[in-house]
Structure 1
């Protein structure tokens, strides 16, 4: 049983830490199955396991040691696309099709005003990446060939950003996609918001959420079970032990959001549906929570520190975070 003392786990739930042999902070996480998973983090580190976490291989690009990976999407044991963050040329996309033995740099940002935060794929070919506002509007990068090439989308269909508004590169879940649907979450401004697209990221509408905004506060993570049922979590990373109204639910595709009846009460950076109807997980540096009712109420089950959480299509769930921490969920 993992986590800080003093917490009673939820029914049958606990994190089982794996020995990664790394001290990197892993905010990018991409489980493929109960046996195959990828993680990406600080100091250009990318890890891969093909035996359920019993062993991990360091497979990051040789030229990325000075960069910070914040997101990774994987399709199988051989193919993955990873994003590094930062202003200007520090924002890059890498792709591998041989299990990380070699990587192609498929995109390098050349606009000093752009800063890419997260990416996601709906299927093996179509993917989007999100940049903080450039010229007053968030910027979308798109691929149609599995991340081999990328194109910056026109911003004509993007609503204007609020003063100070940006996205958080905290867990790889500030942007999520599902078929032609896509959503991204924001903070930094006077309110936190969720942008939604029904046409693959060409046009967007935006709605406010009840999760408080602020210079370091807002929505940090999104998860959608389908085109209607969504979860949002966040808070303020500067004050992680207090996050009033830090979780919200939507039942209409992100048009309207309501505060969860019982919130985690602390800052949460990542959220994921487990594949079991109505069951979801949320994680942050002060602990992990589970919801059995679609995000309406949350219950703490672990006190350990994690930044990201994700579940594979086979129902296996993983979490990752600071000091090389990567764990699998035991039920």
Structure 2
């Protein structure tokens, strides 16, 4: 009788405390804004260190989980639009610009000095995104002569080499990638620098996922069930946990549309299904843990706890990119006007079992 009574009290308490659901503490908190830069590059190293990059040559670094930032405008590149950044520590980072000139810079002293690692004034070269796994890094660019452009490094961005066109994937007429968040490119490795999986998400004439499972020796392509057919629509971002992949996008010129904006794959990109509850336009998706994913865009931020099958809007603020710490749990977001925010994930509430 006592056990039954206690059980009733505990259940009643849980019902009364409706706030114990995981969504109760889930929120996005703006840390700062008001800088003259549209931020699209974001790299969170650990629970303290992160870097952002954006337009007008701006980059910034935090060492206290986003509470304060050291802002800098890279001398000589004040007009560059740094659409992506990859950080390894508070001292070491690589930044990439989109537009002309296409440049790749690296710092080893926290941004005091930047070394030019690639520079090209050819207007046909447009860099979209960058990703790293260990010392191996890759940058993708819009197609030239019907082939996506790929640059590679095997020394953490100290030197870069453009991959031979014969070893890069074909692009369809009108197909390109979006330099919206630095996350239309994804690398998975199996331990060896030269043995990796690489996936590109594209849009325009077609919403496509282009990937290799053999370090680029053979490429595969699958059309995604996302809105496509215009220069502003398609797949904008891809993230993965093993064989479970999630892609998001939409039409940025109609960012409140909620049809055909998110899909998922359970077989490493071979087949795709439309999400059952889709968000409005999202330019970035990030894998968090378990089956949890976070996505954001100009329409707001959305959370999925079931591997991207269903999404729930948790914040209405406009952002361009979100990123989780490589080592740690810190999740940050960044957007226009130097806006930076932190994501507080759902918390698990546990009522201890009392044995009588």
TM-score by length of 1: 0.92
Task: Name the CA distance, whole Å, in 2 between partners of 1:159 and 1:128.
Answer: 14
Give the alignment partner of residue 91 of structure 1, picking from 70, 78, 102: 102
Deviation at 1:109?
2.5
Which residue in 2 is equivalent to 1:107?
Answer: 118
Are 2:326 and 1:326 aligned?
A: no
> Which of 69, 83, 87 does residue 56 from structure 1 map onto?
69
Rounded Cα–Cα distance in structure 1 between residues aligned with 2:45 and 2:220: 31
Residue 188 of structure 2: aligned partner: 178
Aligned position for 1:237 = 252
- Take 1:169 and 1:147, find their aligned partners in 2: how far apart are those partners? 19
Tell me how far 1:201 sits from its aligned partner.
3.8
Question: What does the per-residue CA deviation read over 1:44-67, in whole Å, with 9 as the maximum and x for residues that have no partner?
Answer: 100100011121111342111111
Task: Determine if contact 1:25/1:324 at 8 Å carries over to the other structure.
Answer: yes
Cα distance in 1 for residues equivalent to 2:265 and 2:176: 21
The residue that corresponds to 2:193 in the other structure is none
Distance 1:243 1:91 in 2: 34
SS at match of 2:291: coil
Determine which structure has more spread, i.e. the larger CA radius of gyration: 2
- For residue 110 of structure 1, report the CA deviation from its aligned partner: 4.7
Contact map agreement 1:26 1:70 (CA 8 A) in 2: yes
Answer whether contact 1:10 1:290 (CA < 8 A) is retained: no
Alignment of 1:1-331 (within 5 A): 10-19=23-32, 22-87=35-100, 90-123=101-134, 125-179=135-189, 180-189=196-205, 191-214=206-229, 215-226=231-242, 228-264=243-279, 266-274=280-288, 276-312=289-325, 313-331=327-345
1:33 partner SS: coil
Aligned equivalents of 2:137, 2:272: Cα separation in 1: 26
Deviation at 1:157, TM superposition (A): 3.4
After superposition, the C-alpha distances for 1:171-230 in whole angstroms (9 at most, x for unaligned) are 1101111211111110011x210111123345421111001212210001111122x111
More helix by share: 2
Partner of 1:3: none
Extract unaligned runs of 5+ from structure 2.
1-21, 190-195, 346-356
The 3 A distance-change label for structure 1 pair 110 and 204 is: farther
Does the 8 Å contact 2:99/2:123 carry over to 1? no
Aligned mates of 2:107, 2:312 — CA distance in 1: 38
Q: Distance in 1 between matches of 2:120 and 2:201?
A: 21
After superposition, the CA RMSD in angstroms is 1.5
* CA distance in structure 2 between the partners assigned to 1:198 and 1:249 by the alignment: 18
Give the unaligned 5+ runs of structure 1. 1-8
TM-score (norm 2): 0.86
Alpha-carbon distance between aligned partners in 1 of 2:215 and 2:109, rounded to the nearest angstrom? 28
